[in-house]
Structure 1
């Protein structure tokens, strides 16, 4: 399909106030869009459904899905040159990047100081505190912003999700919640942040390494608990070494985690309940830090730090390496695929207003001013495409 036509049809779906999602997976040259046939709002029951799921930070609230049986799915190929003109135009609004108010800075610093006090009292060992920034009179269309995100963040999961009864969200997230292909599950822990200044060969402070290890330990233990009291060998869950990865103008610490699912452990609901929200977006222990966030942040996170992505879609995979074989289809198998991502580096659009959500992990060693500066770095990712 011609790319211009691909986006024209998205605009038509949006103008007609019909639900859709358009997205690109990390390091992919394929765009995928899903159009729902009507404006019905479908709620996830037990994560056995198939479609594109959009779930909030608070797991006690409803998650929504564009069901595959009520939608059309179309794919299109692109390359980086398709959006080069968009990239040039985006620099015209660079003045938006540095419009933080002093009152916002002081408010967030006090927010962090209060969190550190709670840690000192033993309430929890880590809490992720965020802020929401309002930008008004944004004249750029969401589809244009989506194109700019595609151009700038090739290694991120980039998406634009819309439902007339819920709202419109966009983002470019570097963090995977989980990938499942057949019986293979992969996830990651991602924590620690510093600005990218030309090289990924950097030194990480003890605070950042500790934060990363908390997330990794939580995920491994949560996966074990989600599978019940079954006995597994010590290498049943595999954990990689920490490594530095780049996401736009930021660097993070990442650890990869994988495991094999058995027929009795393939249901995703207990796994998602155990993993979400991870300490990377919430804190540790989970329930205590989550309650603190909900009580002390002066706005609802809604879908910020929630998760979204493909849920139980079918993917056809060839077992035959010889693609020219005319009988190749006989060697193809279908696997159930779930690719879910944490909703970070995101924004919510309401008319000509944009709400940007950014945060950072707070531990006993956190410096409130540095934490504010970290949120400023993160906000640049979204503001620079407005």
Structure 2
């Protein structure tokens, strides 16, 4: 299938008000899509199903599944998608929203200093009116711009329309091997200078790393933690640690997800107290922002070549069940010709409220580069 036919099928699916997802994983030229054959809302409660999962911040709410058995699947391979040139329009920052967010951050810092919390991630929603409301056009722009991200467009007529480019892996399970990352700290990318990180940012990142490794211990062994590295996501830089481990016998995906999600990178620490603070103070419903999304229990086949005596170039297909979930960051919800853009940042005792506001403005710019 060529790119034109691929996106024509997606356009028709959207026109028919039928669910779909189109996505491309980081540093990957393969674009995949799932087209659901009806408009039913399928939910995953056990995480034993197969398909594409779209889960909310509050895991007690509905995790929506596009089931493999009720979807048509197709994919294309390309490094660039044809899309018309455009000029992004500026987001005008609201002074009222600025004051509200600074007040929220100040309240979070006060709670941390009172030893109620160690860290809390506080966010806001910015609304922008759109001239071009075609979600697939926005997806194409994201794909061309953010090669290091999981780029997606997800639609269900009953649930909503979400688009994003997230740099953060929640977890990848391939056979018995589990991979995840700890991602925290944010600063603008500057081409001509080396990044410098503050103690606050290293502390924030360490909280996430320590939390993840502790949560994995009941379910995995041989936990290997990499050195902290700086990674780029669009116009932003983050601190990143890779964590690899081996699943113990009997470990199930649902228990691991419930242990990890939401991580301190999107919620805070301790998890229960941070989540309560967010639900009681953010004054809006995150819905699927800082939830997670991705492939659930799909069979992946890899070819392994052997060259034993008397056997030339035999190929053996190794089939493993694989799940790939990404945290739903750098995302927006499209509704009524407007984009609701979600941004946030990690708050610790050393946070500066004005700097935290600026960090959310920088993150808004990541998504705004593809909107007009």
**TM range, smaller chain:** over 0.9
CA contact (8 A) 1:50 1:67 kept: yes
Match of 1:307 among 273, 285, 292: 292
Between the aligned partners of 1:79 and 1:361, the Cα distance in structure 2 is 34
Between the aligned partners of 2:192 and 2:204, the Cα distance in structure 1 is 22
Between the aligned partners of 2:73 and 2:10, the Cα distance in structure 1 is 12
Q: What residue in structure 2 maps to residue 181 of structure 1?
A: 174
Between the aligned partners of 1:63 and 1:219, the Cα distance in structure 2 is 22
Q: Does 1:203 align with 2:193?
A: no
**TM-aligned CA deviation for residue 298 of structure 1:** 1.0
Between the aligned partners of 1:119 and 1:262, the Cα distance in structure 2 is 35
Q: Does 1:157 align with 2:142?
A: no
RMSD: 1.6
| Structure holding more strand per residue | 2
Give ranges in structure 1 of 5+ residues lacking alignment.
Answer: none
**TM-aligned CA deviation for residue 212 of structure 1:** 0.2
Between the aligned partners of 2:160 and 2:192, the Cα distance in structure 1 is 38
Between the aligned partners of 1:321 and 1:2, the Cα distance in structure 2 is 34
CA contact (8 A) 2:305 2:314 kept: no
Between the aligned partners of 1:350 and 1:200, the Cα distance in structure 2 is 39
CA contact (8 A) 1:31 1:77 kept: yes
Give ranges in structure 2 of 5+ residues lacking alignment.
Answer: none
| Partner-residue secondary structure (3-state), 1:270 | helix
Between the aligned partners of 2:77 and 2:16, the Cα distance in structure 1 is 25
**TM-aligned CA deviation for residue 72 of structure 1:** 1.1
* CA 321–205 in structure 1, closer or farther in 2 if over 3 Å, else same: farther
Q: Does 1:109 align with 2:83?
A: no
Q: What residue in structure 2 maps to residue 167 of structure 1?
A: 160
Match of 2:341 among 356, 359, 371: 356
| Partner-residue secondary structure (3-state), 2:266 | coil
| Structure holding more helix per residue | 1
Aligned pairs (5 A) from 1:77-88: 77-80=77-80, 82-83=81-82, 85-86=83-84
Between the aligned partners of 1:3 and 1:145, the Cα distance in structure 2 is 15
Match of 2:354 among 369, 372, 375: 369
Aligned pairs (5 A) from 1:1-386: 1-80=1-80, 82-83=81-82, 85-86=83-84, 89-90=85-86, 92-93=87-88, 95-97=89-91, 99-198=92-191, 201-226=194-219, 236-265=222-251, 267-320=252-305, 328=315, 331-386=316-371
CA contact (8 A) 2:215 2:260 kept: yes
**TM-aligned CA deviation for residue 321 of structure 1:** 5.8
CA contact (8 A) 1:309 1:338 kept: yes
Between the aligned partners of 1:294 and 1:150, the Cα distance in structure 2 is 32
Q: What do residues 88-128 of structure 1 show as CA deviations (whole Å, max 9, x unaligned)? A: x23x13x324x111111111111101111111111101000
